[in-house]
Structure 1
Amino acid sequence: MPLRILQINVDRRGAAQKLLAKTIEEEGVDIALVQEPNIRMTSNNPRWILDSTNTCAVFCANPGCGVVTHVKGQGFVCINFEDWSLYSCYISPNISLEAYKERLHLILDQVADSKNEAIVAGDFNAKSPSWNSPITDARGTYMDAAFQAMDMVVLNEGSTPTFARGATASYIDVTFATQKISRLVHSWRVSTGESLSLHRYIFYNINKGNVTPKKEWVERPRPQADVFKDAFRIAARGVIDVKSMVKAIREAQDLSTVGIQAGQNRLQPVWWNEEIEQLRIICNKHRRSLTRARGRDTPQTIIEELEVGYKSGRKNLKRAIRRAQRRKWDELCSELEEDPWGRDTK
C-alpha cells in the first residue's frame, strides 16, 4: 500500500496541532511533516522527531511504515527508509538572503551526502512561478536554481495557495523530489479544509509500500507516569482475577500514552465529540464561501461579511476544543476524588 503523507505548518498554534491529530486519524496519514510545531505538545511522545532548532518535525503516525533511521539538523529532519529519504524543512522569513542560502545548503548537502532518492518538503518562505506563485522573490529564484542543479523536480500542482492571511495568499509550502521517486508520488493536493493555521494541509501518496521497520526505529509509545497511575486506579475497580488485571493495565496504558487511541496505532483525540465535528463542518463552509468570493468579482461589503462569519467559526471551533479538553480532565479528576484508591468502598 502507498504511504499517505501530510504536510503542514501549524504556526506554533495549539489548536492547529490538536486539529491535526484528528485530521491524521481521519485521512489515514502515515507520516506528518510539520513545520513550526507547538513544542509543548510534542514533548514526551517518541513518535515526534524535532530538528535542532525546534522549527520543524516529523510525526510517525504509523510505526510500521518502514522508517529505519533518522537525521536531525538545523532546519530539517530527515527520516530514512531502506532506499529513499523524506525531509521536513523550515527556513524562517526573518533572516538575510545570505543566511537563507546557508540554511538551504545544509538541507541540500544532506540530500547529496546520503545518495538516496529523496522527497524534500516544507515551508521555505520563498516564491517562484515554478511552484505556481504569481510573485517571484530572490529566495525563490535562488532555491529554484539550487534544486534544479540537484536534478530535483517540484511536485506542487494546482492553483490553490498553501498560505492565506486575510485577502493575502501565498505559495510558500513546497514539495521537491529526485527524478526517480517523483514518478512514484501521486495525488498531490492542497486541501481547502480548515486547519486552524494560516497554512493549509497538503496531502500526497508515495507508492513505495509499507515494509517491516528495523529495530533501531521501533519505539513503543511511553505512557505518562502520573496519568498512568490515575488511569489505573479507575480501570482497576473491576479487577477480580488475572485476566481482568491484564485488561485494566492495557486500558491504563492506552489512556496514558500521548496521542494514541486505545486499540489503534493511529492518533485519536479522546476529547473529540459531535459538537466539535459540527463546528468544523460549519467552519469549512465559511472558509470555502470566503475563498470562492475572493476569486470572483464580489463586492467588498459581502467579502467583509464572509470574513466575519469565517473568523467567528474559527473562534467557536477553538473554544469548543478547549472546553472538551477541560471537560475530559475534570471527569478524570472527579472520578479520582470519588474513589482515590481505585476500588469501591463498602
Structure 2
Amino acid sequence: MKILQANMHRSRTANDLLHQIVLENQFDVIISEQYKKREEGFWLEDDTKTAAIWIPDPTTAPHRSDKKGRCQMTIFSCYLTSSDDIQTLQAKLEDIEDNARHIAGNLIIAGDLNSRDKEWGMPSTDSRGRRVLNMAARIGKLTANVGEIPIFNRVGNVGTIPDITLETENCTHKIADWKVLDTYNGSDHCYIVFNIAENEVTTVAPTRKGWNANRLDKERLIQEIDARLNRQRGGNIVSNNMTTIRQACNAAMPKMGNPRRQGQKCTGGPKG
C-alpha cells in the first residue's frame, strides 16, 4: 500500500492539485487540515473535519470504517491545532491513546501534531513534544520519520517538522521508504510518502513464565542499565530504552523456560 500523508493547510490550490498527485502515483491518502470532502472513492473524516482518510480507489485497499472485528492494519489520521492550550492538547492525546489501546493488530498514527522533539528531527524539544512522545511510548509506538528535512516552510519562518508518522514496534506490516516529497503541492507543508509493506518476521514463541524475579540481582540490574544507557549514541530513544531494559533483565535474572524461535509470516493485504 502506497501512502501519501498530505497536510493541505486548508488550501484550495492544494485541494485542486491533490487529485493529480494521487493519480500519477496511485496513492492512498492520509489527510490533515483538509480543504473539503472529496466525493470520489472512500472518505472518512473526524467530527472537526480537519483530519481524514481518503482511498481514491477502494478496490486497491480493502477497508472498514467501523470498530468491529480485527483489522490487519489500522490507520489514525490526526490533527492537533497549535492554538490548543496544554490541557486541551493533553486531553486529545489521551483520547488518541485510549482509542489506540482498543486496536487489535498493527496501528499507524499520522498527521500534524504541532509539536517539537529531537526524536523526529527538531533541534529542540518542547512540552508538547514531550507529551506526544510519552503517549507514543505508553502504547508502544515508534517514530517513523527519517532525517531532519523541514516539512512546514513559510517565508520569514524557520522550517519545522510538525507532521509525524508513528508505527507499531515489531509489527508485521512495516513502514518502508519513508521520505519527504519535494513535488509542488500548493500547501505550506511538504507531503510525506511511504509504503506499508508486509514483512516476514522472526518471533519468539511465548513461554508460560518469563524471568524468575525471585532470583533477581537488583544491584546488577542497576549496573547493567546504567552501563547500557551510557553507551547509547543516537537512534530511536524509545526503542533503545526498551532494548536496554530487556538486555539488563536477561543479565540480572534467569528465565524459567527456553523460548523457541519460529518463523511466522502474515498473509493478506493491509486493511484500515
Q: Same fold (TM over 0.5)?
A: yes
Q: CA, structure 1 residues 184+80, in 2 after alignment: closer, same or farther (shift >3 Å)?
A: farther
Secondary structure at 1:170's aligned position in 2? Answer: coil
Q: Contact 2:7–2:112 at 8 Å: present in 1 too? A: yes
- Alignment-derived partner of residue 174 in structure 2: 184
Superposed CA deviations along residues 275-323 of structure 1, whole A, max 9, x for unmatched, are xxxxxxxxxxxxxxxxxxxxxxxxxxxxxxxxxxxxxxxxxxxxxxxxx
| TM-fit CA distance, 1:8 | 1.4
Q: Contact 2:70–2:105 at 8 Å: present in 1 too? A: no
Q: Distance in 1 between matches of 2:148 and 2:20?
A: 26
Superposed CA deviations along residues 118-157 of structure 1, whole A, max 9, x for unmatched, are 0110000011000001132110011111101212100000
Residue of 110, 116, 123 corresponding to 1:134? 123
Richer in helix (by share):
1
- Alignment-derived partner of residue 220 in structure 2: none
| TM-fit CA distance, 1:180 | 2.4
Tell me which moved more, 8-17 or 173-182. 173-182
Backbone CA RMSD of aligned residues? 2.4
Q: Distance in 1 between matches of 2:14 and 2:187?
A: 6
- Alignment-derived partner of residue 77 in structure 2: 88
Q: Distance in 1 between matches of 2:129 and 2:7?
A: 18
User: In the alignment, does 2:164 pair up with 1:174?
Assistant: yes
Q: CA, structure 1 residues 80+56, in 2 after alignment: closer, same or farther (shift >3 Å)?
A: farther
User: In the alignment, does 2:111 pair up with 1:114?
Assistant: no
Q: Distance in 2 between matches of 1:201 and 1:32?
A: 10
TM-score, normalisation: structure 1: 0.55
| TM-fit CA distance, 1:184 | 1.8
1:1-346 to 2 correspondences below 5 Å: 3-29=1-27, 31-39=28-36, 42=37, 44-45=39-40, 47-71=42-66, 82-166=71-155, 167-181=157-171, 184-208=174-198, 211=269
| TM-fit CA distance, 1:46 | 5.3
Q: Contact 1:185–1:206 at 8 Å: present in 2 too? A: yes
Q: Contact 1:67–1:79 at 8 Å: present in 2 too? A: no
Q: Contact 1:162–1:170 at 8 Å: present in 2 too? A: yes
| TM-fit CA distance, 1:61 | 1.9
Q: Distance in 2 between matches of 1:212 and 1:177?
A: 14
| TM-fit CA distance, 1:45 | 4.0
Q: Distance in 1 between matches of 2:57 and 2:26?
A: 9
The structure with the largest alpha-carbon Rg is: 1
Identity %: 24
- Alignment-derived partner of residue 255 in structure 1: none
- Alignment-derived partner of residue 333 in structure 1: none
TM-score, normalisation: structure 2: 0.69
Q: CA, structure 1 residues 164+68, in 2 after alignment: closer, same or farther (shift >3 Å)?
A: same
Richer in strand (by share):
2
| TM-fit CA distance, 1:183 | 6.5
Structure 2 spans left out of the alignment, 5+ residues = 199-266
Q: Distance in 2 between matches of 1:27 and 1:9?
A: 17
Q: How many residues align?
A: 203
- Alignment-derived partner of residue 267 in structure 1: none
Q: Distance in 2 between matches of 1:182 and 1:124?
A: 25
Q: CA, structure 1 residues 6+163, in 2 after alignment: closer, same or farther (shift >3 Å)?
A: same
Q: Contact 1:69–1:81 at 8 Å: present in 2 too? A: no
Letter in 2 for 1:68: H
Greater than 6 Å deviation, 4+ residue runs: 78-81
Q: CA, structure 1 residues 118+80, in 2 after alignment: closer, same or farther (shift >3 Å)?
A: farther
Superposed CA deviations along residues 138-184 of structure 1, whole A, max 9, x for unmatched, are 10011111101212100000121111111420011000011123762
- Alignment-derived partner of residue 210 in structure 2: none
Q: CA, structure 1 residues 182+156, in 2 after alignment: closer, same or farther (shift >3 Å)?
A: farther
Q: Distance in 2 between matches of 1:79 and 1:27?
A: 31
Name the structure, 1 or 2, with higher relative contact order (CA <8 Å, separation 6+): 2
Q: Distance in 1 between matches of 2:127 and 2:187?
A: 26
